[in-house]
């Protein structure tokens, strides 16, 4: 047992371990900040959709960066962002022209976009896109540049939340009234999807596409947050993040998967306790 | 003049307008109603008037309100939506909800008005409770207080009577009539029918639909010498 602790501790003496720790903390902070709004605005599934929409863009970014020898990171980001917006646009187009329900259009687009990405990966052997890393993340491969990007997005999110708190609250509570009452609803309606996309993008490479949406949802669900800014949700998110990372290092699991598995058991535990308390 | 509209056509798509072009204005304070069956465009007309939707053609103008989406600091109109429009997952106390009516400029005077309205509309005892724990009648009163707190001259209410029992409906309508008489403001209510309260109304529009897919014609009652004036090709004035 002591040996396991020693091993974990030795990770953090190395640079990749330190980057992993800071990266996990920042992803957790970002999720803790955004998750109450994501849950209260009923946008929990949007993170999942976005994470899949961006896949062909990521592949295209790799390809373009390699082909024209431009820096990898900006190419990936631009590709992913364009692909994310294209996906959202396609869903809207399908809903409006075919009058099908939103979730049906979303699933068709999600699978189609992801399929396109997988086909592209299978054909573009030279691009070296790691499908496994895209799905499950690879926090130990993060660089300081990734961490700085994560930090910037977390900072912008925190600033928007703290300086426009009354606008967020009015917008989440009753958007139409908020608009009429002069709250800055237009700003939030324009920036919230951008913020969500950025959060998904910067978290994608550390925790993976499958885990991003869970991370953006778990903290608020776990503390049953009903306010826009919830310190409990932020602290809890940080706690789960660190525990997940330690668990992953100790048992050699993918970090994102370790975090969301821990999250599910905590949510289930809470649900059981709440049900039990209701009975007695 | 409280509200004026010219050749107004409302609806979601140009190919499917909900009414014939019509013009009119509301020039005197009073309690007015827009009546008619489901799906004939009552809410759409109200949402167009208050700027939440664009008209298909024509214009509408609210007095002293040049803002399309009310970008200035003091809300120039009051809006009482149906209470299910308030996000049920968001926990907000009644006092905080009413404060939202102040918009972004919260000052001492405004906060004093919040307390006064909480008292006036009989929700002071529940001011610290979450909005969603209130009864239907209390919720409606809280939303009315939220609309009144910015002291608008014109208030729009979207089916405020829908979930209330007969007693609560009477209480609310009488309170609104009293408010109009005291403060000389203009209150517009959407409802399916208000026969029981027609003696309290200063005027009403009735949406009529002769065939299911026809464009609505808007009949207008002026039998009580009401100060609303409308004109339009298909109006039965």
Residue A131 has pLDDT above 80, yes or no: no
Rounded distance between C-alpha atoms, residue A43 and residue A52, angstroms:
15
Q: Please, how many CA atoms are within 13 Å of residue A71, restricted to the half-sphere of its CB?
A: 5
Residue A153 has pLDDT above 90, yes or no: yes
Retrieve residue A188's tokens: 């939030």
CB contact under 8 A, B79 and A180: yes
In this prediction, residue B184 has a pLDDT band, given cuts at 50, 70 and 90, of: confident
Of B51, B104, B146, the CB nearest to A183: B104
Which chain B residues touch A183 with a CB distance below 8 Å? 100, 103-104
Residue A29 has pLDDT above 90, yes or no: yes
Residue of B47, B68, B100 to mutate, interface with A, max A Cβ within 10 Å: B100
Rounded distance between C-alpha atoms, residue A27 and residue A207, angstroms:
9
Query: What per-residue confidence (pLDDT) applies to B59?
Result: 84
pLDDT averaged over every residue in chain B: 78
Q: What percent of chain A has pLDDT over 70?
A: 97
Q: For A48-72, what is each residue's pLDDT tens digit?
A: 888 889 889 988 888 888 788 888 7
Of B87, B104, B150, the CB nearest to A173: B87
Residue B217 has pLDDT above 70, yes or no: no
Closest CA–CA distance from residue A43 to any residue of chain B (Å): 13
Decide which of B178 and A129 is more confident: B178
Following DSSP, what letter does each residue of chain A receive, concatenated? -HHHHHHHHHHHTSHHHHHHHHHHHHHHHHHHHHHHHHHHTT-HHHHHHHHHHHHHHHHHHHHHHHHTT--HHHHHHHHHHHHHHHHHHHHHHHHHHH---HHHHHHHHHHHHHHHHHHHHHH-GGG---HHHHHH--GGG--HHHHHHHHHHHHHHHHHHHHTHHHHHHHHH-HHHHHHTT--HHHHHHHHHHHHHHHHHHHHHHH-HHHHHHHHHHHHHHTT--SSS-HHHHHHHHHHHHHHHHHHHHHT--HHHHHHHHHHHHHHHHHHHHHHHHH-
pLDDT averaged over every residue in chain A: 86
Residue A121 has pLDDT above 80, yes or no: yes
Nearest to A11, CA basis, from A252, A241, A260: A252
Which chain A residues touch B48 with a CB distance below 8 Å? none
CB contact under 8 A, A174 and B89: no
For the ranges A12-21, A127-136, B177-186, the one whose mean pLDDT is highest: B177-186
CB contact under 8 A, A182 and B90: no
> Where are chain A's structural domains?
2-270
3-state SS string for B138-188: HHHHHHHHHHHCCCCCEEEEECCCCCCCHHHHHHHHHHHHHHHHHHCCEEE
Question: Which of A76-85, A109-118, A125-134 is predicted least confidently?
Answer: A125-134
Rounded distance between C-alpha atoms, residue A129 and residue A163, angstroms:
39
Between the CA of residue A260 and those of A37, A53, A103, A127, B139, what are the distances in Å? Answer: 19, 21, 23, 29, 38
Nearest to A106, CA basis, from A19, A155, A48: A48
Which chain A residues touch B91 with a CB distance below 8 Å? 226-227
Of A173, A184, A226, the CB nearest to B100: A173
CB contact under 8 A, B52 and A179: yes
Query: What per-residue confidence (pLDDT) applies to B165?
Result: 83
Query: What per-residue confidence (pLDDT) applies to B111?
Result: 92
Closest CA–CA distance from residue B85 to any residue of chain A (Å): 6
CB contact under 8 A, B52 and A176: yes
Interface list for B 148-167 with A (CB within 8 A):
150
Nearest to B96, CA basis, from A240, A15, A178: A178
Query: What per-residue confidence (pLDDT) applies to B225?
Result: 39
pTM of the model: 0.82
CATH superfamily, with its number, for domain A2-270: ABC transporter involved in vitamin B12 uptake, BtuC (1.10.3470.10)
Of A173, A179, A182, the CB nearest to B104: A182
Query: What per-residue confidence (pLDDT) applies to A93?
Result: 92
Question: Which of A196-205, A206-215, B116-125, B140-149 is predicted least confidently?
Answer: A206-215
The dihedral over CA atoms of B185, B62, B144, B107, expressed in degrees to the nearest 10, equals -90
Residue of A181, A220, A224 to mutate, interface with B, max B Cβ within 10 Å: A181
Query: What per-residue confidence (pLDDT) applies to A116?
Result: 92
B110 and chain A: CB distance < 8 Å anywhere?
Answer: no
Flag whether the ipTM exceeds 0.85: no
Residue B226 has pLDDT above 60, yes or no: no
Rounded distance between C-alpha atoms, residue A234 and residue A250, angstroms:
24
Rounded distance between C-alpha atoms, residue A186 and residue A167, angstroms:
10
In this prediction, residue B208 has a pLDDT band, given cuts at 50, 70 and 90, of: low
Q: For A79-93, what is each residue's pLDDT tens digit?
A: 988 998 899 899 989
A246 and chain B: CB distance < 8 Å anywhere?
Answer: no
Pairing of strands B203-208, B30-35: parallel
Nearest to A269, CA basis, from A233, A234, A218, A232: A218
Q: For B60-93, what is each residue's pLDDT tens digit?
A: 888 765 554 444 445 578 899 988 889 988 888 9
**Domains contained in chain B, CATH given:** 1-77+161-237 (3.40.50.300), 88-151 (no CATH)
B104 and chain A: CB distance < 8 Å anywhere?
Answer: yes
Q: For B150-174, what is each residue's pLDDT tens digit?
A: 888 889 998 888 878 888 888 888 8
Decide which of B214 and B23 is more confident: B23
In this prediction, residue A129 has a pLDDT band, given cuts at 50, 70 and 90, of: low
Which chain A residues touch B86 with a CB distance below 8 Å? 173-174
């Amino acid at each position: 047992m002591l040996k396991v602790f020693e091993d974990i501790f030795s990770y953090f003496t190395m640079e990749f371990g330190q980057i992993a720790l800071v990266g996990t903390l920042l992803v957790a902070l970002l999720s803790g900040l955004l998750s109450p709004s994501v849950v209260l605005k009923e946008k929990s599934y949007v993170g999942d959709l976005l994470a899949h929409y961006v896949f062909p863009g990521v592949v295209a970014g790799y390809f373009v960066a390699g082909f024209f020898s431009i820096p990898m990171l900006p190419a990936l980001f631009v590709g992913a962002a364009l692909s994310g917006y294209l996906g959202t646009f396609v869903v809207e187009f399908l809903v409006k022209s075919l009058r099908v329900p939103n979730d049906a259009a979303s699933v068709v687009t999600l699978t189609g976009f992801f399929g396109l990405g997988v086909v592209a990966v299978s054909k573009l052997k030279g691009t070296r896109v790691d499908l496994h890393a895209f799905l499950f993340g690879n926090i130990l491969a993060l660089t300081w540049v990734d961490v700085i990007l994560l930090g910037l997005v977390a900072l912008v999110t925190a600033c928007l939340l703290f300086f426009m708190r009354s606008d967020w609250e009015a917008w989440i509570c009753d958007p139409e009234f908020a608009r009429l009452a002069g709250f800055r609803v237009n700003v939030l309606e324009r920036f919230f999807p951008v913020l969500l996309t950025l959060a998904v993008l910067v978290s994608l490479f550390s925790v993976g596409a499958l885990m991003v949406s869970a991370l953006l949802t778990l903290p608020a669900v776990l503390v049953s947050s009903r306010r826009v800014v919830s310190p409990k949700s932020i602290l809890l998110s940080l706690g789960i993040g660190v525990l997940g990372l330690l668990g992953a290092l100790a048992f050699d699991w993918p970090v994102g998967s370790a975090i969301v598995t821990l999250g599910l058991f905590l949510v289930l535990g809470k649900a059981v306790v709440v049900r039990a308390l209701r009975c007695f | 003049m409280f509200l004026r509209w010219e050749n107004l056509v409302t609806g979601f798509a140009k190919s499917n307008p909900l009414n014939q072009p019509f013009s009119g204005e509301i020039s005197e304070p009073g309690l007015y109603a827009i009546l008619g069956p489901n799906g004939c465009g009552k809410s759409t007309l109200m949402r167009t008037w208050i700027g939440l939707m664009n008209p298909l053609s024509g214009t509408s103008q609210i007095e002293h309100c040049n803002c399309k989406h009310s970008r200035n600091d003091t809300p120039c109109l009051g809006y009482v939506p149906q209470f299910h429009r308030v996000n049920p997952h968001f926990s907000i106390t009644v006092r905080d909800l009413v404060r939202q009516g102040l918009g972004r400029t919260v000052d001492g005077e405004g906060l004093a008005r919040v307390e006064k309205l909480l008292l006036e509309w009989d929700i002071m005892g529940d001011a610290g409770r979450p909005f969603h724990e209130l009864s239907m009648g209390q919720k409606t009163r809280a939303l009315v207080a939220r609309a009144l707190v910015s002291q608008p001259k014109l208030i729009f209410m979207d089916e405020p009577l829908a979930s209330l029992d007969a007693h609560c409906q009477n209480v609310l309508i009488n309170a609104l009539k009293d408010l109009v008489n005291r403060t000389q403001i203009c209150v517009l209510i959407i409802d399916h029918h208000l026969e029981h309260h027609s003696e309290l109304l200063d005027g009403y529009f009735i949406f009529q639909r002769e065939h299911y897919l026809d464009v609505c014609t808007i009949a207008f009652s002026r039998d009580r010498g009401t100060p609303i004036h409308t004109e339009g090709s298909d109006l039965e004035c």
